[in-house]
Structure 1
């Protein structure tokens, strides 16, 4: 048990998120509780169990945790190989421009201004939901929000002028002059879970497919629209805070519905 506690301390020194640390510790504790020792045979048996019951992406997350533990113990020779994740050649469950515009306009028509702006900010800034909840009135006034990513790198989240002007008018009407931009009904900063759940509620209310209405879907929409209007993938990678430009390349792919529309239009023979 002492070794696991030392491993936890080691992970915290690496500046990993608490979610990642919790996941790593859970995986290591599960392995140690079910297998006698850290032998190659047991590690391969654990990998076999994972492959039988979990998707490749989850298997790789568990392997990553075990490998990190083996690295900490200086037993790198026992590390497991990752499994190949089959990449789809299209983007799935991304909200279309038509649905995004319809949802946004429906919220405005019903004078539900806070959620109108939630949707607009997600799609016009490319913010992750964890970043969106941190935006303050002061950031709107400045026109940007500076974020420090892992490793202390600075990323600037820009608020486009059209969105900034309309937000300023709304803030004047509501007499909000400082603090977090999006609050819950108790006047406290809204939670990421609260945003996800409420977006699903509005999707159902307005008849939009709930599968495409979730916070990250609007970040995907931002990326797709940006590349359609200004094809600079390096700039987009910077704006989205991607460590590698390879991560951003997925936005060069079309969504499944876009592929279908193009095939329908092109293939007439």
Structure 2
């Protein structure tokens, strides 16, 4: 039985309202809406959808996008189908073999992190330098910088409510001192710390664009410079020092330690060195 349903583009707005009422993050709502608009673009003038057409859309995506992007767009589509109360039409996402290793071209070293911060300061971009330090020293998501206000920083603890969960970020004393010094020097007594020249809260695109401009003078590959990579950097350093993955999961706001393990992954070359060392010291010595 080839069950079909007719949909109109007006459903997109209703879908967005549904997501807001469900308390999805604004970035998630925008992403899902953009993905559903892409789906309607594929449908063209034929708004009659059925399983066959959905599978054709899946194949169309596979031919044009990376697998992770395809799965992300299919997740949005499946949410849309649930909203339409036709969950039986949902499409399976593509299975991807989990890769336990960090891509070396994206691994940010301590030296590179310091160079980016130093370059930002040398360029007179103190706020950018502090933004990098804040993410690298606390592990926050870039969307969570809105919680960094003068009032909260003074307390030394940042209370965050994000993705339906509440958690508390503890500020290292040296970072707290730097942030308050910046506020004092710029006569900022209240409100957001990370803002544009017009006083609006900086968003992901503002910060990412500024970070990318540091690449040449800092001598750091562009593939390593993006806000979320500093969150990964924090996770690796914290785990390296403490070996406390449960505490790290709490700090990062993860519900599952399995998610946190992704953040503590190391590169293939590090695994190779460890393996060579073990074989040389333990296995081969036993056979000689």
* Aligned-partner Cα distance in 2 for 1:26–1:139: 39
Aligned to 1:26: 37
Instruction: State which drifts further: 259-268 or 81-90.
Output: 259-268
Deviations 1:101-156 (A, max 9, x none): 233244456665333312211100112222124411112101122111233x2121
* Aligned-partner Cα distance in 2 for 1:184–1:3: 35
Aligned to 1:10: 18
SS at match of 2:94: coil
SS at match of 2:49: coil
| Preserved CA contact (<8 Å) 1:203 1:209 | yes
1:159 to 171, 178, 182: 171
Aligned pairs for 1:1-269 (under 5 A) are 1=8, 2-16=10-24, 17=26, 18-33=29-44, 35=46, 37-92=48-103, 93-108=106-121, 112-151=125-164, 153-256=165-268, 258-259=270-271
TM-score normalised by length of structure 2: 0.80
* Aligned-partner Cα distance in 2 for 1:141–1:121: 15
Q: State the 1:218 CA deviation.
A: 0.6
Unpaired segments ≥5 residues, structure 2: 1-7
Unpaired segments ≥5 residues, structure 1: none
Instruction: State which drifts further: 196-205 or 110-119.
Output: 110-119
Deviations 1:153-203 (A, max 9, x none): 212122111211233334334443222212334454333222111111122
* Aligned-partner Cα distance in 1 for 2:223–2:204: 17
SS at match of 2:214: helix
SS at match of 1:145: strand
- Alignment length (residue pairs): 268
| Preserved CA contact (<8 Å) 2:196 2:202 | yes
* Aligned-partner Cα distance in 2 for 1:100–1:69: 40
| Preserved CA contact (<8 Å) 2:78 2:90 | yes
